[in-house]
A and B are shown apart, each in its own frame.
Chain A
Amino acid sequence: MFVRFVTGSIRIVTRGNALYWTWIVALLAMITAGVFAYLHQYDAGLQSTSMRDQVSWAFYIGNFTFLVGVAAAAVLLVIPAYVYQWKPIKEVAILGELLAISAISMCGLFVFVDVGSPLNLMHLVPGIGRLNLPSSLLAWDVLVLNGYLVLNFTIVTYLLFSLYRGTSPNHRIFTPLVLLSIPAAIGIHTVTAFLYNGLAARPFWNSAILAPRFIASALCSGPAVLLVLMMLLRRFTRFEITDTAIWKIAELMAYAMGFNLFLLGAEVFKEFYSNTEHVVHARYMFLGLGEHNALPPFLWTAVACSVIAFLLFLVPKTRKNPVTLVIGCVLIYAGVYIEKGMGLVIPGMTPDTLGEIYEYVPSTTEVVVSLGVFSVGFLLFTLMVKVATPIMLGEFRDASAPKGEIAH
């Protein structure tokens, strides 16, 4: 049966219309470019990035942080679906888990391309290497991210394979796993926030509301991807996703974004009103320092995107209009991407701990490698959704499986 499942899946992913193939070929092309850029970086060293001693984490780690948030956001769908047994969202909750798997895979790749000695990465593997627990937050992050990946992979595989076999999943196994994924999602993003938060050397990150800010922004950016996907699925497949489900998710996103903006405001007030020497990082981010002003245009764009999206999602009329809804999703994604990526990492390191200002702008190598990593994630997500959709719809089922509707 498993062989039939694999061959059937391969058949599904190799069939598609011109649009599908254009998308796949474009992703493969970008992956190839990314691999070549990475090989160049591997030979030349990280000198081919714009990172230096002063700004020693940058674009890669910013993308990593953003994607941990996207992965954590699956929880926004799981809570109403399984805790409150709200059927309209339950149907699509699996998409959140597929997104989490893709996002975590990208996170792993971003850490991989960022380290200077990838050959030594096996020193992280328990048994072969030595994980510096409990004191190193990166060691914890390795554990929780891999755990979350395994958990989501198990949930998704179990659910889909059960449906493929024409049986409903055993809820004594399935429900506890799904419920476990809720604290795990909060956990991965909290640990990632603590990775920055715990560094007393960097006052910009050493703020107690960093972890709550991470969670709030993640609850906006992850569902933004999912909403767009749901609109596409509704359009191109028989997947029935009700308006109420979409509107409810959009409403939840509005609250999350409101809270996110509130926390940002609290941070801005604390920095600028107390006006200690530590305000220099926030100043660099929002206003620039003398001739060093690469960042403010991006940051103000992010703030504008977030505020506009918040208003669009808050007002029921624009939330229910498909056009403004998609615009809102794109704005949220862009806003959080800037804020949680470059907007978090770069000002934290500029000026450096001895007051030196090195203005970081990503190099071509960094951009191409990152596009490659994103393409891997999108490819993974596309293929998984492509297989999962007919299974969910009952179109792709084993020959020996019973016909008809299956409860899950």
Chain B
Amino acid sequence: MTDTADTTVSRRDLLCTIAGCAAAASVAGCSEPTHTDFFRHHLHELTPEQLKAMLADLEQEFSAKYGKDVTVAMTEARPGVSFAYALDLSRCIGCRRCVHACVKENNQSREPAVQWIRVLEMDKEKGIDLHHANAYYEAETVPRPGHFYMPVACQHCRNAPCVKSCPVGATWQEPDGIVAIDYDWCIGCRCCMASCPYGARHFNWAEPELPAEELNPKTHYLGNRPRPKGVVEKCTWCIHRTREGLYPACVEVCPVGARKFGDLNDPASEIRYVLENKRVFVLKSELNTRPRFYYFYGV
């Protein structure tokens, strides 16, 4: 423990909660353990005013903590939009630029390192065989002969096991298909991690460490805002970008154009072109999760 002041505060909060459980009325004297209202309702039950006040509180807290103007948006899904993603396995070279762009864009913890994208190196001879996959290959030498690369992140399943298993409804599917998490509602039980077939969900095993100069100040409540410790997070398809018509950071950074993203309901979109003209597959189709994330072989 390096920060003793912090330690005392968090212990007091814990004791307050225990007291709070025994007598909900007696917590008035407790310090607010989170930036949001301690006894607030589920996100979907907040009035527009309560939501606005909550976002303003968060902005104030993060701006003070990181010493720059942080915005926390709650941009809603655009009506009629249905997002999907496609990844060209024959183009991916395993450079992991997507991994690092994602970390920067989405304010993941640097220590302990949280990475939403895992790039698996596989033997060409074995095909897609996860039990022979290696996620810890050396990036300087890619692509290594005899190998191909398969990045895996949240598949934004239509039939998402994580959503089903969450005991408190802290994660759900948005109207545009993005599977979102309310970090302030999550109890950290990790049922969703046990139920995810793609290892897409990551837990904050310690207080996330995020240097102020590296913080991306443009954030979304359900996306890249700084996270507390002890909650689960995962890829949100850069919800703060894609709902404003931008590509996710990983799509933009990919040097070989292996990553495609767009609106399934837009006939002119690149994702529609891929689905109509390439032969696609989804990972672990036998589990009936029906991912919105497709893989294909472009050549």
Contact = CB atoms under 8 A, between A and B. Distances in A.
B186 A120 contact: yes
Interface stretch (A42-50, A68-76, A387-395): A42-50
Interface string B1-29: 10000110011011001001100100000
Interface stretch (A7-15, A17-25, A197-205, A399-407): A197-205
A131 B167 contact: yes
B161 A131 contact: no
Nearest to A114: B189
A44 B169 CA distance: 26
Given A43-B11, A119-B34, A53 B195 contact: no
A129 B185 CA distance: 9
Contact of A116 (B7, B198, B199, B204): B204
Nearest to A289: B131
Given A57-B190, A115-B187, A136-B167, A39 B112 contact: no
A266 interface: no
A353 B187 contact: no
A122 interface: yes
Interface in A115-153: 115-124, 128-132, 135-139, 142
B157 to A, nearest CB: 11
A120 B185 contact: yes
Contacts of B130: 353-355
Contact of B194 (A43, A139, A349, A354): A349
A56 B161 CA distance: 16
B24 A116 contact: no
A52 interface: yes
B194 A202 contact: yes
A277 interface: yes
A157 B76 CA distance: 53
Contacts of A43: 1, 6-7, 10-11
B165 A138 contact: yes
| Most chain B C-beta atoms within 10 Å of own C-beta, residue among A43, A120, A139, A351 | A120
| Most chain B C-beta atoms within 10 Å of own C-beta, residue among A135, A202, A277, A355 | A355
Contacts of A118: 14, 17, 187
A116 B194 contact: no
A206 to B, nearest CB: 10
Contacts of B257: none
B164 interface: yes
B191 interface: yes
Contact of A53 (B13, B129, B199, B230): B199
A220 interface: no
B169 A115 contact: no
Interface residues of B, number: 62
B118 A56 contact: no
A368 interface: no
B298 interface: no
B59 to A, nearest CB: 21
Given A47-B206, A56-B193, A122-B20, A199 B165 contact: yes
Contacts of A280: 131
B168 A56 contact: no
Interface string A60-101: 000000000000000000000000000000000000000000
Interface in B128-145: 129-133, 135
B209 to A, nearest CB: 11
A390 B229 CA distance: 49
A241 B74 CA distance: 66
Given A45-B230, A116-B229, A130-B169, A123 B194 contact: no
B120 interface: yes
Given A45-B207, A131-B168, A200 B161 contact: yes
A39 B11 contact: yes
Given A57-B190, A130-B169, A199-B194, A135 B132 contact: no
A244 B169 CA distance: 51
Given A119-B34, A132-B167, A354 B118 contact: yes
A352 interface: yes
A356 interface: yes
Given A43-B10, A45-B204, A118-B14, A353 B198 contact: yes
Contacts of B17: 118-119, 121-122
Interface in B56-106: none
A130 B168 contact: yes
A141 to B, nearest CB: 8
A51 B205 contact: yes
B292 to A, nearest CB: 17
Contacts of B275: none
Given A47-B112, A118-B14, A201-B197, A138 B206 contact: no
B206 A44 contact: yes
A331 to B, nearest CB: 31
B200 to A, nearest CB: 9
A111 interface: yes
| Most chain A C-beta atoms within 10 Å of own C-beta, residue among B167, B202, B203 | B167
A47 B130 CA distance: 27
| Most chain B C-beta atoms within 10 Å of own C-beta, residue among A56, A111, A142, A356 | A56
A398 to B, nearest CB: 30
Given A111-B189, A353-B197, 20 more contacts: A51-B205, A57-B194, A114-B190, A116-B190, A117-B187, A119-B13, A119-B17, A119-B34, A124-B168, A129-B42, A132-B169, A135-B165, A136-B166, A136-B191, A142-B167, A200-B195, A349-B194, A352-B199, A353-B130, A353-B198
18 contacts: A39-B14, A43-B11, A45-B230, A46-B203, A115-B189, A121-B17, A122-B21, A130-B42, A136-B167, A139-B167, A139-B168, A198-B165, A201-B197, A353-B196, A354-B152, A355-B130, A355-B132, A356-B199
Shortest 9 CB-CB contacts between residues of A and residues of B: A116-B188, A116-B230, A201-B197, A355-B130, A45-B206, A138-B167, A47-B206, A47-B205, A139-B167
